[in-house]
Amino acid sequence: MRTLIISDVHANLTALQAVLKNAKPFDRVWCLGDVIGYGPDPNECIECIRLLPDLVCVKGNHDAAILGEIDVQTFNYEARASLQWLETKLLLENRHWLETLPERRTIENITFVHGSPRNPIWEYIMDVRVAEVNMAAFDTQICLIGHSHVPSVFLMGDDDESNVRLYDMIPNEPFSVTDQAIINPGSVGQPRDYDPRASFIIYDDESNQWTHHRVSYNIPEVQQRILSAGLPTRHALRLEGGW
Ligand code: ZN
């Protein structure tokens, strides 16, 4: 079975459509949260994602924030401004769909969270030190995460010393995972690793092959729609640099 793994779509429908087209064919979709926030297409992205085959989706911090489940004072100014904009745009049925998302799920040998298994909504796993303490917070082989918008794979060492190492994913080069691992597919709608292309992973469970992919999309068109929607200029600017 071919599984498309996405995260942090952030209301960027153009990027999402480019990923769906490029990733075909796939049998099911796993989404690590933050479907909305920042971008101009919150309803369109929810309506597209909720119809994807055999979908597993967990709740991100932006998803929780629009539902009033977390305090938005902890968000930066632009993130708060886009949440206020979203408040006036989000359709009720789409809000209800966000409410159904769990913070954490486990299916087969995989745990799904947005941030980290230790703190599903808030914690960022950006380095091996934080990854290492999180290895004890899930009991499946794999934990899929999003949140940092940086594609990454943290692998548990196979010796007695629990040394976690960062595996350097190369786009289009399949790799297999035999140890415990924390895997982040990167962000579809707002990459932050200085590569502006949309990021995703395809997982083939029969061959145990994971493949990272990047796909270009029409960034100027999305920037234009961000600006005409009255969303913060910074959201538009950062898309072209991937920061
Ligand atoms: Zn995010």
The pLDDT tens digits for 35-69 are: 999 999 999 999 999 999 999 999 999 999 999 99
Model pLDDT, residue 162: 61
**What is the overall mean pLDDT for the chain?**
95
Percent of the chain with pLDDT over 70: 98
Distance 159 CA to ligand 1 centre (A): 34
Domain 2-241 has CATH 3.30.565.10: no
Distance 21 CA to ligand 1 centre (A): 22
Distance 130 CA to ligand 1 centre (A): 18
Distance 161 CA to ligand 1 centre (A): 32
For the chain, the domains span 2-241
Inform me whether the pLDDT recorded for 158 exceeds 90.
no
Inform me whether the pLDDT recorded for 80 exceeds 90.
no
Inform me whether the pLDDT recorded for 198 exceeds 80.
yes
What are the distances in angstroms from CA 195 to CA 8, 39, 59, 124, 184? 15, 18, 25, 19, 15
**Rounded Cα–Cα distance for residues 43 and 49 (Å):** 10
